[in-house]
Structure 1
Amino acid sequence: MSAGSAARRRPASHGLQVGGFVLDVRSLGRRPGTMRELRREVTATERIGLDLVHIPEGAPIDLDLTLQAVSEGVLVTGTVSAPVAGECSRCLESFTDSVELSITELFAYPDSATEQTTEEDDVYRLVDDLVDLEPVVVDAIGLELPLRPLCTPDCAGLCPECGVRMAIAGSGHGHEILDPRWAGLAKFASDADVASPGPQDHPPSDRAADQARSRTEEK
């Protein structure tokens, strides 16, 4: 069975119509070992996935499946692939990708030992020789997609100081950060540099006095 939690499983309901995720398995005839391959493209009628990454509504979902009759029901195996869209958890940029996953799920016959000895939410069931694959796909997609998706595996995220994307800013991007404990001292040093005149900053009167003293000493 799939790795989906039993709490999220939904038993098939009456009134199903063949098409989309609903498969007609009457051709298997409950003969153990009978197999049938099925390939189908299904359009997602709603968003499937997680908060930051999902299969968009209207996206095509490709099913490549093998249906096999076994003693307790119909075993469905194969792959599901679809495009996904998301938002990078590091840099917050939108991105697109694809997902492909494997499924293995038993759909129990209504009068089988499996159906009679398991809780309703612990196993999927056939209803009127129909398999409803949608809850299987929804569970599998939810487990396959990452909780913290990335636009690229090496995404550097955002600059913690200015918020620019590091992919745009480049490896040399950075900010000089002054320890706040030294901020006052740095300001004092800057003010002192401005206030202290250099040799060329002596007023004219001081230069005249120096020249007069020099001439007196020469005499």
Structure 2
Amino acid sequence: MPHESRNPLSRLDPHAPLVLDTRALSRQPGSERKQTLTVPAPADLGVELLGVPEGTDIELDLRLEAVLEGVLVTGTARVPLVGECARCLDPIASTHGATFQELFVYPDTRSGGNADDDELRLEDDLIDLEPVLRDAVVLELPLSPLCRDDCPGLCPECGARLADAEPGHHHDVADPRWAALQNLTDDGPGHRPEP
């Protein structure tokens, strides 16, 4: 029976935009490096109605600090957002700022050897920021984004945008449960003249 490792070997591409090299920190606790980057957005960074278009510029301000267990990454990301309003379906475009802090543990330390599956590890002194960035941005996005807080939405009968409709916009729609009673009007077949 072949031996299966708990953590499959995966080599990070040092040239990938969200992979950072930490060798300059020399694994000396207390050493730090600040870095400002502009990187292209990865695919599928968002929720159903709102997200960051793939390939657009993400601005990152980062501080990498060497600690005993690994490298602590603290940063902010400014991302462009595009999507549509959940009520009126108008396009939305804005920018969003997200903050994050994550510890990447060294694999050869005591804590790194016993690290949980959800803890992030350094691989050959490289850090992959994509999962951290994805969590920081996506978890802050609203599931039902609005173009404005008081967006009235669309008319359920005709689909007109209520923000552009006349005041008091409404439709006289008979309840289908009462449709059979419309035959009992004065001109209907079941009409009985008064004596």
TM class by smaller structure: 0.7 to 0.9
SS of 2:37's partner is: strand
In structure 2, C-alpha distance between the alignment counterparts of 1:71 and 1:187, rounded to whole Å: 86
In structure 2, C-alpha distance between the alignment counterparts of 1:117 and 1:170, rounded to whole Å: 65
Summarize deviations over 1:184-217 as a string: whole Å, max 9, x none.
569835x59xxxxxxxxxxxxxxxxxxxxxxxxx
User: Would you tell me which structure has more helix in proportion to its own residues?
Assistant: 1
Normalised to the residue count of structure 2, the TM-score between the two structures is: 0.82
- Give 1:64 shift: 0.6
The share of aligned pairs that are identical, in percent, is: 48
Is 1:89 paired with 2:92?
Answer: no
Q: Over alpha carbons, which structure has the higher Rg?
A: 1
Task: Tell which has more relative contact order, 1 or 2 (C-alpha 8 A, sep 6+).
Answer: 1
Task: Give the conservation status (yes or no) of the 8 Å contact 2:40–2:58.
Answer: yes
1:141 to 137, 141, 152: 137
Pair 182,135 (structure 1): closer, same or farther in 2 beyond 3 Å: closer
For 2:21, give the aligned amino acid: D
Is 1:29 paired with 2:26?
Answer: yes
Give the superposed CA RMSD: 2.4
Task: Give the conservation status (yes or no) of the 8 Å contact 2:36–2:60.
Answer: yes
2:66 to 55, 66, 69: 69
SS of 2:163's partner is: helix
For 1:60, give the aligned amino acid: D
Q: Which residue of 2 aligns with 1:175?
A: 171
Summarize deviations over 1:145-180 as a string: whole Å, max 9, x none.
111111222111111121111111143322234456
Moved more, 44-53 or 158-167: 44-53
In structure 2, C-alpha distance between the alignment counterparts of 1:179 and 1:68, rounded to whole Å: 67
In structure 2, C-alpha distance between the alignment counterparts of 1:43 and 1:151, rounded to whole Å: 26
Q: Which residue of 2 aligns with 1:166?
A: 162
2:40 to 38, 43, 49: 43
For 1:156, give the aligned amino acid: P
- Give 1:144 shift: 1.3
For 1:130, give the aligned amino acid: L
Q: Which residue of 1 aligns with 2:128?
A: 132
Q: Which residue of 2 aligns with 1:100?
A: 97
- Give 1:140 shift: 2.0
Pair 183,160 (structure 1): closer, same or farther in 2 beyond 3 Å: farther
- Give 1:87 shift: 1.8
Please list every run of 5 or more consecutive structure 1 residues that lacks an aligned counterpart in the other structure: 1-9, 193-219
In structure 2, C-alpha distance between the alignment counterparts of 1:125 and 1:19, rounded to whole Å: 17
Summarize deviations over 1:92-124 as a string: whole Å, max 9, x none.
2222122111101000011122211222x2211
For 1:146, give the aligned amino acid: P
Task: Give the conservation status (yes or no) of the 8 Å contact 1:18–1:24.
Answer: no
Pair 146,106 (structure 1): closer, same or farther in 2 beyond 3 Å: same
